[in-house]
Structure formats: structure tokens, C-alpha cells
Chains A and B, each alone.
Chain A
């Protein structure tokens, strides 16, 4: 049995083209590492803004200097007219602009509280929110310095993101995207591995390598796949997690158990898709439709509780939603462990369901394919025989025609 397993493993994984390794290892690792590095700046900085200085005063200069000194903002344009700044926002060159109105300083010193309009594009929701918050803070600090410099604010608010104190985007989005990419990889790789014997009409060959045991063939297909994906996922996850506080051993065990359960569920789903559709193209399409936009449904960017009911149900069926829950509760430290287990149990049930369904359907498909391939081979043999026969007949008739012509020529010569 072990020998059959290794023979089948060799047949599937070693003697195969580059596409398998692209789908299984190279692309998931490359794209997820890419996404982690994409957020290497970690926090939002240098948001491009403009200033329209209608007031040429010391206060206006102070505000401009303070805005230029702020790391979150980058003053890219000092506009002469409002339309200049507006067009820059339309083009996307600026995320917003501030109008420092005429007589701002004079009116501020006379305690008339001149309103300073801040125009924010709003299109880029997250960046704009950050930028507006920062502009508000800079201007109110400058304003406070005018009259109440020695008087601190009585209440100071500290905003802490638990498990991600610095609001690091590698922690916010990077980790989620790594998991989303491996979620997709789990389904796609399973679809590829379970469907290519059908596509290439090689089911008999693979079954023969597995000692004609469908169980061994199934195990030799999915076990190494899950192992490769799991190890590579843990490596990329660890790489992404370096931006946050180090995990304890318990947390590491919980997260990796959750990730393994997700990969098991995904590989089962991939196998089931192949079992249902019976071909690579259709099953890849189904996998793409479900797993492609899964990150949007999983609740890390837009919360699940704010989604419509039907979408919430769909989100619940995605393994990604549950593994992200495991990862996020682990950010809360030891208090989240008990709740993480609940998600892992859901994932294990999913894995069991998909694997049973996939195994049942694939066993039927393999059986069907064996008959089909035998028929197909017999037909091909028959076709080949027919071809040989007709070719032989053609040669024979050609020979007889030639003989007739030759005898005709000989007869004519004799005459």
C-alpha cells in the first residue's frame, strides 16, 4: 500500500509539468509575499493634499508649515485658485485641499472663529478619513496655541488597536490577504490535481500506479498537496506576522491548526467541484467564482454583521471566514483561545463534509472514466485498424491499378 502510495505520488507530482507547481506552490507563495511587501510602509503616510492660501498671514504660514511637517500628509500643491485644486482632486492628484480663508488670522484673533473649509475627495475612503483626521489635529493644535498654549486638553484619548497597536496595515490587511490567497490556492490546486487525469485521459494510468486502489489515489493526490500548501502558508504567515507582536507557542498551534483545517476544507471542496462538473475548465470556473472574491465576503474589510442576511449565510459557508476569525481572536491573546476552537471545529466539519462528498463523486467519476478510457482506447485501436486496413486496401488497389496499367502498356507495345 505504501509502495502504491509513493508510486502514485511520483506519478502525480514528480512527472508533471510546471503548471502544477505554479498553481500549487509558486503563485500562492509569490502573490501572498507580494501582498505582504506591498504594505511594507505599514501605515498611511504622504497623503497628497493641496492648500489654497487666500489669507497671506503669519497664521496661514504656520498652518502650512505644520501641514508640511506632518508625516501623514504631503502638501503637493499650493493653488492660486480654487478650480486649480478642484481639478487636481478630479484627476486624483490630490486627495483633498484646505482653503485658508481671507482675513483668517485677523478674525481668529478677534475671536470670530473663521471657519476653515477642508474639501476631501471621499472617493478613497480610508486614506481620506486618515487625512481629514490629521488635518483636523494639525489645525486645532495651531489654533489652540493662539490663546491657550499653556492649557492642556483635560481629556486625552488613546486609541489602541488590540493585537496591532501601531495600526500596521501588514497586520490589518496583509495577514488576511495571505490567508485569502491560500484559501484560493487550496481550492484551485485541488481542482487542478483531481481534474487533470480526466483532462489527459490518464485515469487508468494513475489508478494503475496506485495499485488500482481509488482510496490510495485519492490520498496520494490530496495529502501531499495539503502538506505543501500548509507548510508554505505557515512560512508566509510567519513572514507577515513579524510586523506584529510575536505569537506564543499556544497561539501558533491554534493558528496553524485553523489553517490546516481550512486547507482540508478547501481541498475537499475542490475535489467535490471536480466530482460535480467532471472537467477541469468548469470546476476551475466554479472555484474562481466562489474563492476569487471570498475576501470581500469574509468580513475583514467590511464587517459581516453589516452585510445582508443572504450574504451573511454565504460568508458562513466559506472556510476563509472561519479561519480569519481564528487568526483575529488570536490577536486578542489568551482570552480568544476558547472562541478560536469553535471556528476550528466548524472548519473540521466543513472538511469532513466536502471530503465525503468529493470522495463519493470522484469514485464514481473514476469508475466512469475507466470504462470510457477503455472504450476510447478500443475505439482508437479500431480506428487505427480501420486506417491500416483502408491504407492497405488503397495500396492494394493502387498496385492492381498499376498492374493493370502496366499490362495495358505491355499489351499496346506488343501490338
Chain B
């Protein structure tokens, strides 16, 4: 038994040493995990997009339209930079990216409203910017509807002959109060970055494993140690020994993200120890075995990098962190079940961002555990097959 562990740790230690001595491995398994964790969140350091430059096209030019403009100028999300009297000026400013949206106050708005009529206020946003569309729309709509609500309350009070307080209650008898549970500030970084961190762990680990040839024996790029006993241990020792090295190495990354990256970027850390440990074990074993399977496919070390760089965007979106699962085409949903991140990203968000306990996390970790077992069996079979085939091409 002692001999078994000795051999296992010997393989693990030799592989771990390789993470720091092989230039390609250092870049992927050491540098990339740290670099990306700080590089990726930097665009979102200001967390929210506030004071977005906008304009108001005032075709009414009355007290009410000026009130509406002032109310818009006071909104936190937007900054009314220009007040135009012609819609074409606003279009020109939007094309020039001086503004990202504008509100058109129609001619005779005040007159129509005072005469008891209805009017339309149009809000135009730049069609290419998803986030600005929402922010500008919300700000202008709130202001316009507030003016509308005031008018309506007056009409109710006069029409039904009730006091103003009652008229307010009659206009909106069931007011709602929105409580945001986990992202109070509406921070964009808090929304995107935690998911991306899990993806960074997965992608660097999978590409790293592929670059180091998984559990193969007799790796060509290990010129001097190619025929050493550690390099050519029995297959199960090689497979589990190297997996152990990856596991321990990436456990340190999870700790680094939890204690350092989350602190630096001020993300909420609600993760409890037990679910975090369970997540680390299940997630890393799933990804390691996934990498061990894929590593048997490539003939050259850098090919995995070239191919996986393309995959990052689809893999991130398949994890449903931004788009409801029900809206994804069925075949894509099926395909996504093959990827550890599909289950790992929701599990990480539930545990670390929303403080899920082990019972809540169990349902999310179970599919990951099943993946780990599936890829383990497949990895063992493929490594065995690959050991038997002597390929002359490539550097693996």
C-alpha cells in the first residue's frame, strides 16, 4: 500500500515539476490563471455604466417639457448633454457617438394633457448596445411616466372628487417594492466575471492537460526524460498520479480566486466551506478527466490551444449565465451536457455568490460528478489505446 502511494506521488510530483519547467505549461497552468483573473475584470472596474450621455429633443417647449427635461437630467443613469429642437440633430449626435439615446417630447404635449388627451413620448436608443438600451430606456421611461402619473392623479382627483392621497392610491392600488437579493448595485462585473473565472479555470486546465499530453507514456517533448521510469509508469499510476498533480495545483487556484481575486474586485463571498470543498473536488475531477480524454486526440502540443480559443465564447454562453435555458435550441442543450462548465458555472454562482448550502448545491453538483465518472472511464480506455499505438507524427 505504501509502495502504491509512493509511486503515485512520484508521478504527481514529476508532473507538478513540469508545470513550472516546461515553458508552454508555465504559461498556461501558472501564468494564464493569474493573468486572466486580473485582466478580464478590468473593463468592468467601474461596475456600472452611469451618466450615459443622452439628449432630449424638445418639440413642445413648454413648462411641462422643461420639467420633464430637468427630471431626466437628475436621473442617475443618464446625463442629458444636449437639448435639441430638431430630431435630425439628435440622430447626427448619436451617429457620432456623442450620445447613445434621446427622448422626443412631442409638440403640444402640455396642451394635449391639459385638455384631457393622451400623448406619446418616444425614446430612441442605439440599437447596437444592449446594456445602454436598458439603462437609457429605464431612466427616460421612469421620468415620462412620472409626469404622466402626476397628470393622471390630478384627473382622478378632479373626476372622482377624491383627495390627492386617495387619487394616488386609486392610480396604483398595488405598488410594488423591488428587493434585489444578490447584486444590489446592478454591477456588471458581479454579473459576468464570476462565471468567466470558472471558465478560465476550465479552459486553462483542459488546454494545459492537452499540452502536456494527458496521461500518455513516452512523451516525445520530454527529450531527456522520455525513457525514465516515472514517465513510463504503469497506466493507472500515470493517470491518477498526473490527475493528482492537476487537482492539487488547481485547488490552489480556487483558493486564490476565493481569497484574493474576489477581495480585489469586491465580489460577494458567501461560499461555505463544505459546499466549496465539494465543488472543488467534483468540478476539478470532471475537468481533469475531460482534459485527459481530449488530450488523447491531438498530435501536436499547440493544436489544443488553437482549437479551444474558439470554443471559449460558445462554452461561456452555454452555461446559461445570461440567457434562459428554455430559449436555447434543444440540440445545443444536449451538446452542453458534455461540458463541465455547463453545470460548474451555475454551481459556483449558487455556492459563492448566493451562499448555497450543501443541500442546495447537491442537485447542481450531481451532474458534474456523473460527468467525472464518465470521463474517467473514457479517459482510461483512450489512454490505454493510445499507449498501444505508436504514432510517428507530432511532438506528443
Contact = CB atoms under 8 A, between A and B. Distances in A.
**Co-assembled chains A and B:** yes
A300 B128 contact: yes
B176 A116 contact: yes
B130 A280 contact: no
A37 B329 CA distance: 8
B310 A184 contact: yes
Nearest to B359: A87
B373 interface: no
A176 B128 contact: yes
B388 interface: no
Interface in A124-171: 124-129, 132-133, 135-136, 139-140, 142-144, 146-148, 151-165, 167, 169, 171
Interface of B: 23-24, 27-28, 32, 35-36, 39-40, 42-46, 48-50, 52-53, 88, 91-92, 94-97, 100, 113, 117-134, 137-138, 140-141, 144-145, 147-149, 151-152, 155-156, 159, 166, 168-184, 186-188, 190-192, 300-303, 305-307, 309-314, 317-318, 321-324, 326-329, 332, 346, 349-350, 353-356, 360, 363-364
A112 B169 contact: yes
Interface in A18-53: 19, 22-23, 27-28, 31, 34-35, 37-41, 44-48
A368 B353 CA distance: 53
B350 A302 contact: no
B49 A163 contact: no
A156 B46 contact: no
Contacts of B170: 111, 146-148
A188 interface: yes
Contacts of A159: 123, 125, 133, 137, 140-141
Contacts of A300: 128-130
Most chain-A CB neighbours within 10 Å: which of B159, B178, B311? Answer: B178
Given A35-B317, A38-B332, A46-B327, A296 B43 contact: yes
B195 to A, nearest CB: 10
7 smallest beta-carbon distances between A and B, as pairs: A155-B148, A328-B128, A163-B127, A164-B127, A122-B183, A41-B327, A122-B180
A92 to B, nearest CB: 5
10 contacts: A38-B329, A41-B327, A115-B176, A136-B178, A161-B133, A162-B124, A165-B127, A188-B306, A299-B129, A303-B100
A124 B152 contact: no
B283 to A, nearest CB: 16
A159 B91 CA distance: 15
Nearest to A291: B309
Contacts of B96: 339
B68 to A, nearest CB: 9
B84 to A, nearest CB: 14
B128 A115 contact: no
B123 A34 contact: no
A296 B49 CA distance: 14
A224 interface: no
B184 to A, nearest CB: 7
Contacts of A264: none
A123 B349 CA distance: 8
A91 B145 CA distance: 35
Given A46-B327, A335-B91, A285 B181 contact: no
Given A39-B323, A185-B310, A120 B123 contact: no
B175 A115 contact: yes
Contact of A172 (B32, B121, B128, B151): B128
Interface residues of A, number: 127
A211 interface: no
Contacts of A39: 323
Given A19-B306, A122-B182, A44 B327 contact: yes
A137 to B, nearest CB: 10
B354 A89 contact: yes
Interface string A268-288: 000000000000111011011
A396 to B, nearest CB: 29
A226 interface: no
Most chain-B CB neighbours within 10 Å: which of A135, A148, A163? Answer: A148
A305 B52 CA distance: 8
A162 B326 contact: no
Contact of B121 (A98, A119, A158, A282): A158
A108 B318 CA distance: 43
Contact of A155 (B119, B137, B156, B173): B119
Contacts of A292: 309, 312
Contacts of B35: 289
A311 interface: yes
B22 to A, nearest CB: 10
B309 A336 contact: no
A38 B151 contact: no
Contact of B323 (A38, A87, A157): A38
A118 interface: yes
A37 B188 CA distance: 25
Most chain-A CB neighbours within 10 Å: which of B180, B186, B349? Answer: B180
